[in-house]
Structure 1
């Protein structure tokens, strides 16, 4: 049982950290380390099984990641082609396609490089694999914890439901992606009323873009009023241009209305965990919930969110990647 001491420690650290604040990225890393060390502990216990059973489990343990990686790469390429067909070509829409091609490219590299019998090429391939493994681990941490965070339900009374803007169609119309956020906010509003609570204020947040005729917040408020929400239960924050500003300017309005406010922030599900980290950074007192998104859009959107989170923590991430490259270079020189 000593093999499970390390995963138990990571799990305890995760519980303590999540209890303090569920919106930390460190929670995602602790979640990933818990699963990784727990899996390693289970494999260690395999030695107690009969030989045939141990070999079968070990074989599956190594075959599943390989086959799974290839399946994920194929899925990303297929999804990337769907994104290009439906959304056009842009860096954001090409992410899943490029990720899938990158995975297959790395697999091909690991197959071809040993054929040249070059210590330098082998070292470079090994170093690239180390960096890819680190980034992949972080992505799986992000994906797994974001999924868990998205399952958290709204509990208790809230004073405000903040809905983040995402751009208008034709300069003044609410698109389907934004409408899903508004419906989610309206659902929370109705649920609060059903509890017999004081009606929360629906706070629409979003400024006027250069290609828009009205502020996003104004168009969102008009959409809610058309859906039957009383105008006196709606507030508008129409200055923000970024998610960070959404949080900061909305916080000002909420604190002015209710100094000890509690809120829920609504965005789309792929954006919920990153928005929660931004809410924590801005000092917003509340959780973030996600509205449904078209399935074909999720892979690229999730990859985009991860890239943004990775870059927001670039000091740590680039330092670790640099250290891995240095270790790989030193090992290559030593072998030569």
Structure 2
């Protein structure tokens, strides 16, 4: 561990985010591509929240947690993508120290909350499949609200620890971050001291919000698999499996990249590779969620038809 004498240090007041490319032509193409992805993600997740709020048939614990997931995904991409879009078409690629601090905190809080929410959604599927007759008795609205509050509280509290431990390090130069947003490993690699302690703190948090949730999700699906194996009807097994396929898909796309980014030694840090991995769990996962949960979901198709029918009727009466 080393530090320069305080009187000779010049502390960093802003960072420069390199993004994906320095070529103006490539940046314009990336701007259009990322803008379309961002709008698709926001509109898709916004549609899910709207349908769940308007259709009373979707007022169940499963869709309540899904609406929270969509809200988290909208916040997730909004924390990073708008600023990246500005940097793609602007000559300035700077972000203030406070802005970097805030972006890292909010992004981490939403991500940690989503990690815990996936466990809750797995528990919801476990109760629905293994104890269908007691579903409404076990998952009461009071319990659902308590679980949601727990997820948000843990996410924002743990992110505070992670952000303070990262941004509390001394940064005396350089200030160039080879990333498109302020992500923990990309920032603390610039610190003017040994980052072994922050790596350990991050590892402990990762174990709590990655390994533990994955273990609980795995335990839930082991019980679900045993329950499905007892269903004699092939059609019944396929229908039950389809209710879990969407959750398993988004869990895989979220946890695998997160494990790679946050649960490895800093010595193996690769900025260019990490940007691509971050793109998967930041942008693609938020885009995948509404597609995975709505394309093969009959309840959503019925809700869309109802909303479209109500809108057409209101327009006709207005005319």
In our comparison, the structure showing a higher alpha carbon Rg is: 1
Identify, as 1 or 2, the structure richer in helix.
Answer: 2
Higher relative contact order (CA 8 A, sep 6+): 2
Q: Pick the structure with more strand per residue.
A: 1
**TM-score relative to the length of structure 1:** 0.26
